[in-house]
Chains A and B, each alone.
Chain A
Amino acid sequence: MALSDVDLQARVQPEPHHYEPPYEPRHALPRPVLRVVAPPKWSKGRPGMAFVVVSALTVGAIVLGLVVLNVLVAQKSFRLADLNKAVQVEQTRSQQLRYQVATAGSPDAVAEAARRLGLVPPERQEFLVK
């Protein structure tokens, strides 16, 4: 049976407990006293998970907020555009009405209307003097 490269590599690698550190004279440094430390209470699960969740929530909230804000601004903008359009329409209408009034009130139109109604210019005028 042929061995794979991984298997082969595994076979030639020494076992970790066979590892021997380089030689150092034992009297050079005092050996430190080691003790077993209990893991911190807050990282009972997978380390950094809480951070990821909080970060994701924060980013999500910010993105959602921005989207909502953008939608609101867009809505207001459309409303503003609609109102501007309405103002423009009303302004145009107001101008047209002003024009109609000015045209109807011009002496030519008034004289024509008066003629149609049978009015005539006075033949003479009298002044009352005290």
Chain B
Amino acid sequence: MKLRFRPGLRLLTLLFFFLAGSGLVGGRLVQVQGLDARRFVALAADQRERRFVLPPQRGSILDRSGGELAMSLDMQTIVANPRFVPDRDGAAKAIAAALGVDEGSMRKKLGSPGGFVYLARKVDPAVAARVKDLRIPGVETFTESKRVYPAGRLASQVVGFAGLDNEGLEGLERQYDRRLRGTPGELLIERDPTGLSIPSGVHQSTPSQPGEDLVLTLDREIQYQAQIALATAVESWHAQAGSIIVMEPATGDVLAMANAPDFDPNAVGGSAGSDRRNRAVVDVYEPGSASKVVTAAAALETGVVKPTDVLQVPDEYKVANRVFHDAHPHRTENLTFADIIEQSSNVGTIKVAQRLGKDRLHYWLDAFGYGRKPGIGFPGETGGILPKPDKWWPTSMGTVPIGQGVAVSALQIASVYATVANGGVAVPPRLVDATIDASGKRHEAPRGESRRVIRPETATTLTRILLRVTEGEHGTAKAAAIPGYQVAGKTGTAQKARTDGRGYQGYVASFIGFAPASNPRLVVAVVLDNPSPIWGGVTAAPAFKDVMQFSLRRLGIGPGPVLSPIADPSGSVGKTGSPLPAPGRSGDVAPDPGLAPPPTGETAD
């Protein structure tokens, strides 16, 4: 049977469907063009446009004369989308051969289920070109910056290193990461369906800002010599480790900071964590006799003793319930204070310290920087250990004056001698001299505030006493003497505290000195961890001589006028006839406002 509709009804039905369809289309139109317009615009843009981050070039790290210690190179990274690689086995074989790597590992990478895999990161452009020439579908290359260290192991613990993604992980690379890193840029381009850039499409580029260059105070020639001398000393004396610091006392500039063992920052993966530590800044040790210079400075500055005052010095002495010995047995002797320092007598030093008392001794240790960070801001920088007087043991008046029971870093002890060498003015040490921004403008690094610690006269007197350590008949460091120059310094042979805090095991040997004594231009500190023999005058002093001699020659520093050692009745007039200038001694530096005035008069315990 045929259905028949009235024409009017048929037209109404059609009209209904037409209006309903139109309504749907219209509604969708309103949704796409109006309500969800932004989303669709974004989707469309996302399909056509692509944003690329333009990584900035990391700044270089240079020595004081512009020699590059760390720099960045453009390398090629090879990636693949395994889904688009037609013959994975064949591709793995060819790529492995081009890269010179194991075929199995390459096959494993190309066999991964994902859509992205690194085949090799930051390889030489020539190597990447070999892979590119294979024209394997799904394999691409792009440029990535790689951190390299052209001087290899030179100052490796100071410079530190950056990770695979160019972020500073250790050393100055970490400390100055923000400044070295730079600011990333951005590139926005419009692409066709094949991924190629549309020439007339969107093309917006914000260039990246390269990081700042870092100019260090290090002199790479002196640094190299320090590392060679240290490696030789560590090997010769079977030491576990060691540090050498070369410093300009007048400016605080650190010219060399060597540590052994060291590591190659170009192959960080193969190094031990302990080898990467900048021991000179982050490790503490009990300085032993090298610390007697502080006791001596305090005693001279406060006037409790004069260089020529005579003390009766037996070879052992009881403080509280403990007996302290000199290094070698001897009869009770009448020694001047200068003799005591020259011979590094523990007993004599303790007796002088008892005249000072613990509060004044603590004050001067604090004034010389014990227990305070030197202020270079290096990651992990230590301030050493200086217990407050109320925490001292009854035996501390026996241990602290001779440098046990307190701890410092090699940098701190170098700064102590730099203060004496600088006429009693402490100048904060510096590792960074300046930064150079992207436009090539140099910005000097701020200098810390200098502070007077002892009077210039005290510094000169102490220098004349310390001369005898290398020149005197009973001096403990004749091996540190440099022909033609006068060297003032002090040995240290200290017991090494166990890491578990239970007593001592082993020794730390050191020699810290400065030259030329009449007008000190350089301070060198040598610290050896557990050498054999244990004596600083035997093990550390020769390394000091090597480094100091080289540094004086390198910087063209002459011997200068001669300074008479303390026992010389002719006084402090140079034998060349010229009156001695106070060595680097500007007497106009204000006392440290942060320090309370020294305590006066106290009964020794």
| B199 close to A (CB within 8 Å) | yes
CB-CB nearest in chain A for B126: A96
Once bound together, how far apart are the Cα atoms of A113 and B97, in whole Å? 34
Total A-B Cβ pairs within 8 A: 68
Find chain B residues with CB under 8 A from A81 CB: 197
A106→B74 contact, CB < 8 A = no
| A83 close to B (CB within 8 Å) | no
| A95 close to B (CB within 8 Å) | yes
Most chain B CB within 10 A, of A76, A81, A102, A111, is at A102
Q: How far is the CB of B59 from chain A (nearest CB, A)?
A: 14
B125→A77 contact, CB < 8 A = no
| A17 close to B (CB within 8 Å) | no
Contact with A along B146-173 (1 / 0, CB 8 A): 0010111110000000000000000000
* Chain A contact residues: helix, strand, loop or mixed: helix
A92→B125 contact, CB < 8 A = yes
Interface residues of B in 486-528 (CB under 8 A from A): none
Q: How far is the CB of B395 from chain A (nearest CB, A)?
A: 47
A88→B152 contact, CB < 8 A = no
With A74-B199, A107-B220, A108-B153 given, can you name 4 additional A-B contacts, CB distance below 8 Å?
A70-B200, A91-B74, A92-B74, A108-B224
A127→B559 contact, CB < 8 A = yes
Q: Would A107 and B154 be within 8 Å (CB), given that A73-B199, A96-B73 are in contact? A: yes
| B436 close to A (CB within 8 Å) | no
Once bound together, how far apart are the Cα atoms of A105 and B71, in whole Å? 14
| B67 close to A (CB within 8 Å) | yes
Find chain B residues with CB under 8 A from A129 CB: 558, 576
A125→B125 contact, CB < 8 A = no
| A124 close to B (CB within 8 Å) | yes
Interface residues of A in 58-82 (CB under 8 A from B): 70, 73-74, 76-78, 81
Find chain A residues with CB under 8 A from B576 CB: 129
Find chain A residues with CB under 8 A from B331 CB: none
Once bound together, how far apart are the Cα atoms of A28 and B154, in whole Å? 120
Q: How far is the CB of A96 from chain B (nearest CB, A)?
A: 7
Find chain B residues with CB under 8 A from A95 CB: 71-74
| B195 close to A (CB within 8 Å) | no
Find chain A residues with CB under 8 A from B225 CB: 107
Enumerate chain B interface residues (CB-CB to A < 8 A).
Answer: 67-68, 71-74, 125, 143, 148, 150-154, 197, 199-200, 220-221, 223-225, 483-484, 553, 558-559, 576
Contact with B along A88-122 (1 / 0, CB 8 A): 10011001101100110111100100000000001
A108→B197 contact, CB < 8 A = no
Q: Would A106 and B151 be within 8 Å (CB), given that A78-B199, A96-B73 are in contact? A: yes
CB-CB nearest in chain B for A69: B200
B74→A88 contact, CB < 8 A = yes
Once bound together, how far apart are the Cα atoms of A111 and B74, in whole Å? 29
Q: How far is the CB of A126 from chain B (nearest CB, A)?
A: 8
Once bound together, how far apart are the Cα atoms of A77 and B558, in whole Å? 64
Find chain B residues with CB under 8 A from A70 CB: 199-200
List 23 A–B pairs whose Cβ atoms lie within 8 Å, in order of A's numbering: A70-B200, A77-B199, A88-B143, A92-B73, A92-B143, A95-B72, A95-B73, A99-B150, A102-B67, A102-B150, A103-B151, A105-B67, A106-B67, A106-B151, A106-B220, A107-B154, A107-B220, A108-B151, A108-B153, A108-B154, A127-B558, A129-B558, A129-B576
Q: Would A107 and B151 be within 8 Å (CB), given that A92-B125, A95-B73, A102-B68 are in contact? A: yes
A interface residues, tally (CB under 8 Å): 26
Once bound together, how far apart are the Cα atoms of A92 and B129, in whole Å? 13
Residue among B71, B143, B153 making CB contact with A98, cutoff 8 Å: B71
Once bound together, how far apart are the Cα atoms of A81 and B484, in whole Å? 65
Once bound together, how far apart are the Cα atoms of A108 and B576, in whole Å? 39
CB-CB nearest in chain A for B550: A121
Find chain B residues with CB under 8 A from A96 CB: 73, 125
Q: How far is the CB of A76 from chain B (nearest CB, A)?
A: 8
Q: How far is the CB of A106 from chain B (nearest CB, A)?
A: 4
Once bound together, how far apart are the Cα atoms of A108 and B67, in whole Å? 13
Q: How far is the CB of B550 from chain A (nearest CB, A)?
A: 8
A98→B68 contact, CB < 8 A = yes
Residue among A73, A74, A77, A127 making CB contact with B484, cutoff 8 Å: A127
Q: How far is the CB of A71 from chain B (nearest CB, A)?
A: 9
Q: Would A111 and B224 be within 8 Å (CB), given that A95-B74, A98-B68 are in contact? A: yes
B553→A125 contact, CB < 8 A = yes
A106→B200 contact, CB < 8 A = no
B71→A106 contact, CB < 8 A = no
Once bound together, how far apart are the Cα atoms of A98 and B62, in whole Å? 13
A106→B154 contact, CB < 8 A = yes
Find chain B residues with CB under 8 A from A98 CB: 68, 71
A107→B125 contact, CB < 8 A = no
Once bound together, how far apart are the Cα atoms of A77 and B189, in whole Å? 12
Q: How far is the CB of A122 from chain B (nearest CB, A)?
A: 8
A99→B221 contact, CB < 8 A = no
CB-CB nearest in chain B for A78: B199
Once bound together, how far apart are the Cα atoms of A127 and B224, in whole Å? 24
A107→B221 contact, CB < 8 A = yes
Q: Which 9 A-B pairs have the closest CB atoms?
A: A77-B199, A107-B224, A102-B150, A106-B151, A102-B68, A74-B199, A103-B150, A92-B74, A127-B558
Once bound together, how far apart are the Cα atoms of A74 and B199, in whole Å? 5
A108→B152 contact, CB < 8 A = yes
Q: How far is the CB of A42 from chain B (nearest CB, A)?
A: 41
CB-CB nearest in chain A for B67: A105
CB-CB nearest in chain B for A70: B200
Once bound together, how far apart are the Cα atoms of A78 and B196, in whole Å? 11
CB-CB nearest in chain A for B222: A107
Once bound together, how far apart are the Cα atoms of A129 and B562, in whole Å? 13
Residue among A73, A102, A108, A124 making CB contact with B200, cutoff 8 Å: A73
Q: Would A99 and B73 be within 8 Å (CB), given that A88-B143, A107-B224 are in contact? A: yes
Q: How far is the CB of A66 from chain B (nearest CB, A)?
A: 10
Find chain B residues with CB under 8 A from A92 CB: 73-74, 125, 143
Find chain B residues with CB under 8 A from A102 CB: 67-68, 71, 150-151
Q: Would A77 and B143 be within 8 Å (CB), given that A98-B68, A99-B71 are in contact? A: no
Once bound together, how far apart are the Cα atoms of A92 and B197, in whole Å? 23
Once bound together, how far apart are the Cα atoms of A91 and B531, in whole Å? 49
CB-CB nearest in chain A for B151: A106
Q: How far is the CB of A63 from chain B (nearest CB, A)?
A: 15
Find chain A residues with CB under 8 A from B220 CB: 106-107
Once bound together, how far apart are the Cα atoms of A88 and B125, in whole Å? 11
Find chain B residues with CB under 8 A from A76 CB: 199
Find chain A residues with CB under 8 A from B483 CB: 124
Find chain B residues with CB under 8 A from A88 CB: 74, 143
Find chain B residues with CB under 8 A from A124 CB: 483
Q: How far is the CB of B561 from chain A (nearest CB, A)?
A: 10
Find chain A residues with CB under 8 A from B153 CB: 108
